[in-house]
Structure 1
Amino acid sequence: MKLSAVTSELVVSAREADTRSPTSVPQEWSQDHKDRNKIFAERLHGKLILAPLTRGNHLPFRQLCAELGADVTMSEMAFARMLLKNNVVEKARLRIAGNEGCYGLQVATNNIAEGVGAAKMAADAGCTWLDLNVGCPIYEASRRGLGAVLLRKPAKLARLVAGIAAGSPLPLTVKIRTGESSSKINCLQVVEALQDCGPAAISIHGRTMEQRYKRAADWDLIAAAARSSAIPIIGNGDILTLYEAQRRLQGTGCWGLMSGRGALIKPWIFTEFQEGREMLPNAAERVGIYHRLVTLMKEYFGGDDKGRKKAFYFLPWHFNFFCRYRPYPQELYSEQSLEHPLIGTRADVSDSRVGETPESLPLLERLLRCSHVDAHSAIAENLWDSTDHEDAIRRLEHLATASLELWEQSGQLDDREDAVAEG
């Protein structure tokens, strides 16, 4: 594919920025740079940010989260090199919903020129900031020397960050993990190395690259980084409920928080956080939220067969997360969440602690909790074909009557391990 004239200019400009970038990390930044970082950081202060999510952060889902109170949203990770080549998939990350007031483009790169070029494209598209991915654990990134493997060499990473920050027209943030593996935890060293490199903030996912999502996030380590850092630290990992979010924000010294899988399971977590109130929506209320997502997908992808095909790359997949929702009222689960994150606790279909039995649950509730992949596809199809919220409920109740027992008897066939990667 030939580069367009516009993209060629960006690449040339980025290369020039690369040659101008210092060989060592600059110790002093201009007052304009410091002021820009400070102003941007204030927009993140005390916020719950929608994390960059592989497959999950398409525009309609971000738009739904923004409607539900997400003030700060981020793109799915884009490969900077492909973005500069005008790759259609990567350029889609530059599209911003009308209600996204503070939107960050996350890119994966190990090259200053690519980072600066991507930052200029992001600025032209109206993005608020650029985020450098130093946390993605997936092979597609690591095999290219991108994502979390950049944690291996903090000094080299520092030069990369400083070079991009120096040439970027937007504030730069960096998203990292705690380290490569349990024997190579170095996030405190990395945070220290980046202090004078010009980023406006650093977000830390409290697991190693090797752990992916297998263990609880290490919030003690995140807190240690937050308390020792001269620049804002955003904490990320295992936030599913309002009380977990409040505890992390108040008890760690973090500047703000980030939610990934928690937002996929219950996108109304942003309403809870913004309004400071616990929400325990019933099945009919959740159908309304899911139907709203379908409506937004139709508006973005199109309501015809072509749009449906595009939307269905995402829509059934979302129910792999929606089906995990359970009501975890604070008075019953706050203490348990101190021992182990609720997001990491595999729940039964019913919960006796809130007075549920399998027989007492309405069919619609059982359907929404069903983990069978065929159920997810059928729910998506019925939502897509429904005319409104009430029609969606009727269709799903009929679906539950006809097929739920078979799906429940078939067992749980979804594969939740590595179903999503937070960049």
Structure 2
Amino acid sequence: MQIGPYQLKNRLIVAPMAGVTDRPFRMLCKSLGAGMAVSEMITSNKALWTTKKTLRRADHSGEVEPISVQIAGSDPAQMAEAARINVEQGAQIIDINMGCPAKKVCNVAAGSALLRDEALVARILDAVVKAVDVPVTLKTRTGWSPEHRNALRVAKMAEDCGIAALALHGRTREDMYRGDAEYDTIRAVKQAIRIPLIANGDIDTPAKARRVLDYTGADAIMIGRAAQGRPWIFREIQHYLDTGAELPAPEVGEIRQLLLGHLDELYQFYGEYSGCRIARKHIAWYTKGLSGSNEFRQQMYRLESTETQRQAVNEYFGRLADVSDRLIYVVEDENRMDHDRQAGVEGEACDHAS
């Protein structure tokens, strides 16, 4: 997989996810087999460029190349300026967000809301490509709604404007994350364009990754939600693509060390207060479905310091290791999982507010 002058080590890319794909998460996924990771979206609104949140998102210190930074907005001139500023700060690839379905993004006519105005899409693509001398990529959806799918037209527009690669999530904005991804649309787009196409949506197992690549003809795949709490999915997929065999599940001891290392990076990156709270959703994802995890999470959510949180995680995985070297999953209570999902939302809100 090649994007401009950058030859990726494989065809596996971490999807940009607000409140998730911060520098610690991107670096972890790359260390576990991802060929590239796209940053959380950075606003093109100049008034917000000096906020703590934006400055953190623009911090790429020590990150493995290539560094791909996603920008979001609806004004071509602002988007062009945001691209230039991020290149000055170390971005080697600029990614344009036309795929985010979140209301707070679409309400300001950004993200997937742009798909309702193809003329504006063309102006933004043209302005950003002309503003920088690095590759520009685009992440988008199949359309605004099932009745208004325009992925083919947008893809051709992107190619004509000089976009270096296109990532396509197989749902419309109206679909959000409901239903099944439209691999037929991704396949049709791939057949219609010459630039690299990255397939995104519902790719959550090595076998599914193989099927999507074969069916769509995509040049690469992009993994988002399936990597939350399971960053080793990238090495599992790569091994399956290389050999046709599945890797055994990681041992409890390895997961404990991966999570503790991830927590240490989060604490260092965000500091004591925000680090503890942002870590909660990651801990919930890592432990989802594990034996005794419901009770553990309820206790963990009440911890207010990084030291006690880290100690609780260490002890919990120590108890799992005493029972088995391999992870043991159980069916979780839906009411408890609703609580956990809310805790994850609160953790992300903390990040956005910081």
TM range (shorter): 0.7 to 0.9
Shift in alpha-carbon separation, 1:263–1:112, aligned structure 2, 3 A: same
CA distance, structure 2, for counterparts of residue 410 and residue 275 of structure 1: 36
CA distance, structure 2, for counterparts of residue 194 and residue 74 of structure 1: 19
1:144 is paired with a residue of what secondary structure?
Answer: coil
| 1:157 aligned residue | 121
Q: Which amino acid aligns with 2:89?
A: A
| 1:404 aligned residue | none
CA distance, structure 2, for counterparts of residue 372 and residue 236 of structure 1: 33
CA distance, structure 2, for counterparts of residue 390 and residue 372 of structure 1: 12
| 1:374 aligned residue | 298
1:280 is paired with a residue of what secondary structure?
Answer: coil
Matched, 1:286 2:251: no
Matching of residues 220-239 of structure 1 within 5 Å: 220-239=184-203
> How far apart are residue 372 of structure 1 and its match?
8.3
Q: Which amino acid aligns with 1:175?
A: K
CA distance, structure 2, for counterparts of residue 265 and residue 89 of structure 1: 22
CA distance, structure 2, for counterparts of residue 411 and residue 388 of structure 1: 19
Mind listing any 5+ residue stretches in structure 1 that lack a counterpart? 1-35, 302-306, 325-348, 350-364, 399-406
Between 72-81 and 88-97, the greater mean CA deviation after superposition: 88-97
Matched, 1:132 2:132: no
Q: Which amino acid aligns with 2:23?
A: L
Shift in alpha-carbon separation, 1:316–1:232, aligned structure 2, 3 A: same
Shift in alpha-carbon separation, 1:297–1:84, aligned structure 2, 3 A: closer
Matching of residues 51-62 of structure 1 within 5 Å: 51-62=15-26
Match of 2:8 among 26, 38, 43: 43
1:55 is paired with a residue of what secondary structure?
Answer: coil
Mind listing any 5+ residue stretches in structure 2 that lack a counterpart? 241-245, 323-331, 349-354
Q: Which amino acid aligns with 1:286?
A: I
Q: Deviations over 1:7-47 (max 9, x none)?
A: xxxxxxxxxxxxxxxxxxxxxxxxxxxxx96424x438x52
CA distance, structure 2, for counterparts of residue 37 and residue 67 of structure 1: 20
Shift in alpha-carbon separation, 1:378–1:243, aligned structure 2, 3 A: farther
> How far apart are residue 150 of structure 1 and its match?
0.5
CA distance, structure 2, for counterparts of residue 371 and residue 251 of structure 1: 42
Matched, 1:119 2:88: no
Matched, 1:216 2:180: yes
Match of 2:32 among 48, 61, 68: 68
Identity rate of aligned residues, in percent? 28
RMSD: 3.1
| 2:265 aligned residue | 296
CA distance, structure 1, for counterparts of residue 147 and residue 307 of structure 2: 47
CA distance, structure 2, for counterparts of residue 78 and residue 114 of structure 1: 12
TM-score normalised by structure 2 residue count: 0.82
CA distance, structure 2, for counterparts of residue 393 and residue 320 of structure 1: 13
Shift in alpha-carbon separation, 1:58–1:378, aligned structure 2, 3 A: same
Give the conservation status (yes or no) of the 8 Å contact 2:198–2:218: yes
| 1:414 aligned residue | 339
Q: Deviations over 1:363-411 (max 9, x none)?
A: xx4134x39862552699687554799656347889xxxxxxxx96974
Match of 1:110 among 63, 66, 74: 74
Give the conservation status (yes or no) of the 8 Å contact 2:276–2:306: no
Shift in alpha-carbon separation, 1:257–1:127, aligned structure 2, 3 A: same
Q: Which amino acid aligns with 2:256?
A: V
Give the conservation status (yes or no) of the 8 Å contact 1:242–1:272: yes
Shift in alpha-carbon separation, 1:410–1:82, aligned structure 2, 3 A: same
2:126 is paired with a residue of what secondary structure?
Answer: helix
